[in-house]
Chain A
Amino acid sequence: MRLRWNVIIGSLTIIPGLLFGGVATGYLLGGLADKHLFVGAHHLVNVVLLLLVFVMVIATALTLAERKWSAMMQNRIGPNRARLPFLENSALSGVPHVITDVLKLLTKEAFIPKDASKLLFNLAPMLAFAPVFALFAIVPAGPTVNVFGFDIEMVAANPDFGLLYLFGIASLAVYGTSLAGWSSNNKFALLGGVRASSQMISYEVALGLGLVGMMIAFSTVQLGGPAGMSDLQSHYLPGWSTYLGPIDVGVPQWGFLLQPAGFILFFAAAFAETKRAPFDVPEGESEIIGYFVEYSGMQFGLFMIAEFVEVVVLSGVLIAIFFGGPYLPFGNLWLKSLFGPDWQWLYGSILGTVFWLKVVLLCYLQLAIRWTFPRFRYDQIQTLGWKILLPIGLANVFISGALILWDPSLKALAIAGGIEILVLVALTLTPTPAKSRADAHIGHHGPVDEHGHGADHALPAGHH
């Protein structure tokens, strides 16, 4: 594939530039709000900035990105009809679809079939969208820094019940899908609705168990604030840090290192909650269409945008709990010392940009998974949830708990986590046995397969 350097360099400057501008605006407006309105007013600024601007804009952009990226993976061009002047033949030729799609959905007829239960039919898309939208409130998107003499937290709300809010509100979304399926009075929709609700409640258990290890390690359910999971991950494991000249380096206590099993459990379960492929039996396009088969216009649009908001929120939550929040793996103290007391908002904005770049990367990972794996069968989904994730989750909680009681400095947990990661990497790099490849009829004709091995030794004898 030809590398288009202008596109690569352009996106590497424009995207972080936009994110940096947004975060810096947030810190400065927050400081101004605290100074001129009342202390704590920056939370209101953050509600608007983080939820309405960042999450909604990224989610809307993802509706296009999903089609563009899937086109890229499948060697298609993708949507390119809506164009900007001067950009007709560039990679950006389909970008106005973000706006035209919204306009199209808004001006379509919001149709209600005559057999449907009117009230519940109208209520369902609202119940699917509202909880998902409210989820991001507790995710800190930047460090707490001093702006104009006030401590500005880059989080919409920082209640002490943090993760409980996440679990509570996230599980409300199941009402939207099951009501949509039932109230449509359509057999396909009903099937999609019960499949969706059954799948969502099955993975709810693994979702909760995946995070218990992190709650034990940090003794909190709060995400933001100095004692929250996000900020605790900026610390190094005690004794395992040093200085390289002015730069501090060490092993950070990131959740991914402490709890790799918890991370995989939570990620798999949350991915199933988003109902995206490979967990998309509730809305399998080629078989039952889904619980929203009878919806049209922006009521369908609400289901769709809720799905993409879920992708963004999941990325944000994963980063806040497992990937160090807004912090870099090392050098945070050095970075902070570079800026004087009046310029701390610059430090905050840089780390805020780091947070959103991590979010974009994880969104890309989720879209790549969605377009790589084939759909699971429904019995496979239930087997994965109950027979694999639930026992692993319980074992992980009690093994991690014993390690933490044995060594409260979390080093034993980090060593165990490092071993888990090595085992996982080794398992991933192990080539699939030749026999099963022949059965599955997967022929690699390129010189190199996805793990970087030469493909020839992986192919069965007599393949050609």
Chain B
Amino acid sequence: MFTHMVSPLTPYLPVAVVLGLAGLLAVLIPALTTRLGPRSVNEIKSATFECGSDPIGSARQRFAVKFYVVALLFIVFDVEAVFLYPWAVNFKALGWFGYGTMVAFAFTLVMGLVYIWKKGALTWES
């Protein structure tokens, strides 16, 4: 009946539908289990589970700084990868000039990689 209408579904609308559906499912499924499941609380059961031994202190503690270093490196190199995508899509139009530009950009980052490698930031066994 609406065959002559211009499609109201731009390519982006189904994406929104999918994201909405994903969110809905993610909320509904845990909601269902809290309705259906039994409920009983006691002191021992609600304690932190550490394989039967009494937990010592809180889990809100310091942990290895290595993980933080990895997060910093990720920022640097993932931003590099993000810069590569638009370049890759327009690669053939940009030609050898674009290629050379990106080689120069990547070279500075590779130097950074070599530096952190030599510094030992990528070494985990200490």
Contact = CB atoms under 8 A, between A and B. Distances in A.
B96 A405 contact: yes
A106 interface: yes
A241 B74 CA distance: 43
Interface in B1-44: 1-3, 5-9, 11-15, 17-19, 21-23, 25-27, 29-30, 32-34, 36-40
B99 A405 contact: yes
Interface residues of A, number: 90
A386 B3 CA distance: 54
Interface in B31-88: 32-34, 36-40, 45-50, 55, 58-61, 63, 66-67, 70-71, 73-74, 77-78, 80-82, 84-85, 88
A387 interface: yes
A441 to B, nearest CB: 24
B3 A397 contact: no
B38 A130 contact: no
A53 to B, nearest CB: 13
Q: Among the interface residues B14, B47, B67, B80, which one has the most CB atoms of the partner chain A within 10 A?
A: B14
Contacts of A112: 46
A49 B102 CA distance: 42
A408 B113 CA distance: 31
Contacts of A379: 123-125
A47 interface: yes
B7 A40 contact: yes
Interface string A160-201: 100111000000000000000000111111110011011001
Contacts of A109: 37-40
Given A39-B7, A130-B22, A186 B49 contact: yes
**Interface core residue of B1, B26, B99, B123 (most chain A CB under 10 Å):** B26
A40 B3 CA distance: 10
Nearest to A125: B30
B48 A110 contact: no
Interface stretch (A202-210, A247-255, A346-354, A430-438): A202-210
A253 B67 CA distance: 40
Instruction: Summarize B's interface: helix, strand, loop or mixed.
Output: helix
A131 B21 CA distance: 11
B19 A39 contact: no
Contact of A198 (B17, B70, B99, B103): B70
A163 to B, nearest CB: 8
Interface in A10-54: 35-41, 43-44, 46-47, 51-52
Interface in A73-123: 105-115, 122
Nearest to A185: B59
Contacts of A188: 49-50
Interface of B: 1-3, 5-9, 11-15, 17-19, 21-23, 25-27, 29-30, 32-34, 36-40, 45-50, 55, 58-61, 63, 66-67, 70-71, 73-74, 77-78, 80-82, 84-85, 88-92, 95-96, 99, 102-103, 106, 110, 113, 117, 122-125
Given A38-B5, A301-B33, 12 more contacts: A114-B47, A129-B22, A186-B48, A201-B70, A201-B78, A212-B84, A219-B91, A294-B49, A301-B29, A382-B122, A387-B122, A402-B99
20 contacts: A36-B1, A37-B2, A38-B5, A44-B14, A51-B21, A106-B33, A107-B36, A110-B37, A130-B23, A157-B17, A185-B60, A186-B49, A202-B74, A301-B29, A302-B29, A302-B30, A397-B88, A398-B106, A401-B91, A405-B92
